[in-house]
Amino acid sequence: MGCRLDILTLMDSVCSGRHSCDISVTTILDSLDDDSLPCLSQLRGYMEASYSCVRVVVGPTASCTSPEQHVGLTTSGATSGYLANIVTEATSHGSLVCPWVLQAPSGQSIKITLHDFSVASRDLSDYIDGIPRICHVLAVIKEDSIKSSETICASDSRTKWVYTSVSNEMEIRIVSKNKNSYFLLEYEVSGCPDLPAPPFGWVERVDNSAILGCNRTKQSWQLTCKAGQWIGKSYNCTPDAASSSDNANRTLLGIFTGSQWAAIVIILAIAITLGLVIFLVGLMYLRRKRHQRQHAEATLAAEGLQVPDYYSATFRENPHQGYPKTMSTGSDGYSGSTENDYYRTWQLQRHPAGGRPPCSLPQTSAHGHITDHHEVVEHIYESPKFDRKEMGLIQMNETGNNNSDPLAPRGHTQYFELDPEEVHMHH
């Protein structure tokens, strides 16, 4: 007959949000105005209703008195649930002291919807475009990732979305003190969880899209989040067993992170710097030794002496190369003299640099006659290695005679050098 009336708001005020309710049709009809009844009074009234019972979150204990007793809800198993203010009023779970803590997998967010069953008892004229002039606080939501909190006010509609988290974790504190106000906070996990990087690969996410790729190749693919699921084709970055040895060097690029590569570069730079410093120090040392050697040779040259060649390091290392045949004394002008063959022996016996050995050859007079005084000459045969001690020379008198010890050397001492090569050949 088209005679019916929607009494949902009336049933919300007496049944919704409660564990149970008991109501009669007569009581409902008596509470209604006669003008609001569309049916004739002769008709018998009846009520037809459909309802559902939802499971709400309860605390593990009968009461909660400290923040340490807060209930952490991990939504990995269930993607939605309900928080009832009637539970908070009875056990203090979800109160200011013991808040509900909701945590979803990383990358997902949590959406909160308010089911307010006390709308019929409010003056809707206090709302302008759904915003109340005075906020009747029902709950407070707080996230660690943001400093501010969100206040949930009583609504002008029965069901209303009120908040979506920025992160994957939030705290909910129910603060309603009105004993006649009943409501539910429905939480629902939205979005897709973060994808782990594939083996030997990488992943980048932007909102509801994710790009994955392989380190050893330039291959990449994209996935899209729809209804909490990643949609798209995935690939395998794991190197094949047959090509694992060929790709060993390339896969190393994916093992080290950016900071590890930076550390490797720093270590290599330090090693190269130390090697360069050691090389420069060694080079400076060699140049200094060469400078000292050149300075020593210049000093000897200034004094009119020259270090014999057989006193060099080459002779000490290989003495069988033989002795030098001549030795010059700089600017004295004796390089062409026949006495140069033994003059070096005179120098090596520590005589003054300017001194010269006495002439051992017969002297020729101005008329071309050879004057021979029949001097007794001491012949000493020695090697250049032999360091002969100083021996006093006994000067001869005009007659060539000397009354000294007959065993003493007479006249000038004549030196002869033994050639090591010839001695070796005779032996």
The answer to whether residue 361 sits within a structural domain is yes
Element holding 170 (H helix, E strand): strand 169-174
The answer to whether residue 355 sits within a structural domain is yes
The answer to whether residue 58 sits within a structural domain is no
Domain containing residue 94: CATH number: 2.60.120.290
Considering the domain architecture, whether residues 336 and 374 belong to the same structural domain is answered as yes
The answer to whether residue 112 sits within a structural domain is yes
Token pair, residue 13, equals 């005020």
Considering the domain architecture, whether residues 185 and 206 belong to the same structural domain is answered as no
Considering the domain architecture, whether residues 251 and 326 belong to the same structural domain is answered as no
Considering the domain architecture, whether residues 79 and 140 belong to the same structural domain is answered as yes
The answer to whether residue 34 sits within a structural domain is yes
Considering the domain architecture, whether residues 112 and 2 belong to the same structural domain is answered as no
3-class SS at 359? coil
209 contact partners, CB below 8 Å, separation of at least 6: 222, 223, 224, 225
Q: Cα dist. 157→257, 383, 416 in Å? A: 53, 127, 134
What pLDDT score was predicted for residue 415? 52
The answer to whether residue 286 sits within a structural domain is no
Of 190, 223, 241, the position where a domain reaches its end is 190
Considering the domain architecture, whether residues 38 and 75 belong to the same structural domain is answered as no
> Cα(86)–Cα(402) distance, rounded to whole angstroms?
148
Of 136, 169, 190, the position where a domain reaches its end is 190
Of 219, 235, 255, the position where a domain reaches its end is 255
The answer to whether residue 287 sits within a structural domain is no
Considering the domain architecture, whether residues 357 and 426 belong to the same structural domain is answered as yes
Q: For 208-251, how does the pLDDT look when each residue is reduced to its tens digit (9 = 90+)?
A: 999 999 988 888 999 999 988 899 988 888 776 335 444 545 55
Considering the domain architecture, whether residues 40 and 74 belong to the same structural domain is answered as no
3-class SS at 67? helix
250 contact partners, CB below 8 Å, separation of at least 6: 215, 216
What pLDDT score was predicted for residue 389? 47
DSSP string, 251-307: HHHHHS-HHHHHHHHHHHHHHHHHHHHHHHHHHHHHHHHHHHHHHHHHHHHHTT---
Considering the domain architecture, whether residues 210 and 140 belong to the same structural domain is answered as no
What pLDDT score was predicted for residue 119? 82
For residue 219, the enclosing domain spans 201-255
The total number of structural domains that make up the chain: 4
Check: pTM over 0.85? Answer yes or no: no
Q: What are phi and psi of 56, to 5 degrees?
A: -110, 160
Considering the domain architecture, whether residues 95 and 30 belong to the same structural domain is answered as no
pLDDT profile of the chain (427 residues), mean per 10? 76 87 80 68 76 87 72 69 91 88 90 90 72 84 89 87 92 82 92 90 91 88 91 82 46 65 92 94 92 85 60 46 44 45 50 51 49 48 50 45 48 54 52
Count of CB atoms situated within 10 Å of the CB of 297: 12
What pLDDT score was predicted for residue 35? 65
What pLDDT score was predicted for residue 8? 85
Considering the domain architecture, whether residues 226 and 322 belong to the same structural domain is answered as no
The answer to whether residue 364 sits within a structural domain is yes
Considering the domain architecture, whether residues 324 and 415 belong to the same structural domain is answered as yes
